[in-house]
Amino acid sequence: MLRIFLTVILPLVLPTVGYALYVLVVERRRREAEEAHVPAPWWATAPWPWLVFAGVAAMAVTLGSVALTSGVAPHTPYTPAHLEDGRVVGGGASGSGPSGN
């Protein structure tokens, strides 16, 4: 169930929640500016800085999580794909430790 939540539900709901929060903040700032008879702040009318920041933050979180949760140990030997008895055997890192080369 946790896998379904993290891979299906969260990616669908999180952008919607982020957008709703953004709209709430921007509308509140615009309303405050109108009541005070001053121009709204530049960021309240231009979503691009927020979108760029959100994209960079999402990229950093994704790259960090991939770097910390995947891969094999350094210096693990790699065996390329090859044929054995006329059958293709896939390649990959072998867990036999560092090679003697």
Stated pTM of the model: 0.42
Please give the pLDDT value at position 51: 82
Domains of the chain, residue spans? 1-67
Tens digit of each residue's pLDDT (9 = 90 or more) over 37-69:
887 766 666 777 778 899 999 999 999 999 888
Please report, rounded to a whole number, the percentage of residues in the chain having pLDDT higher than 90. Answer: 31
Query: Per residue in 11-48, is it b (16+ CB within 10 Å) or e — as a string?
Result: eeeeeeeeeeeeeeebeeeeeeeeeeeeebeeebeeee
DSSP state of 39: P
Please give the pLDDT value at position 26: 81
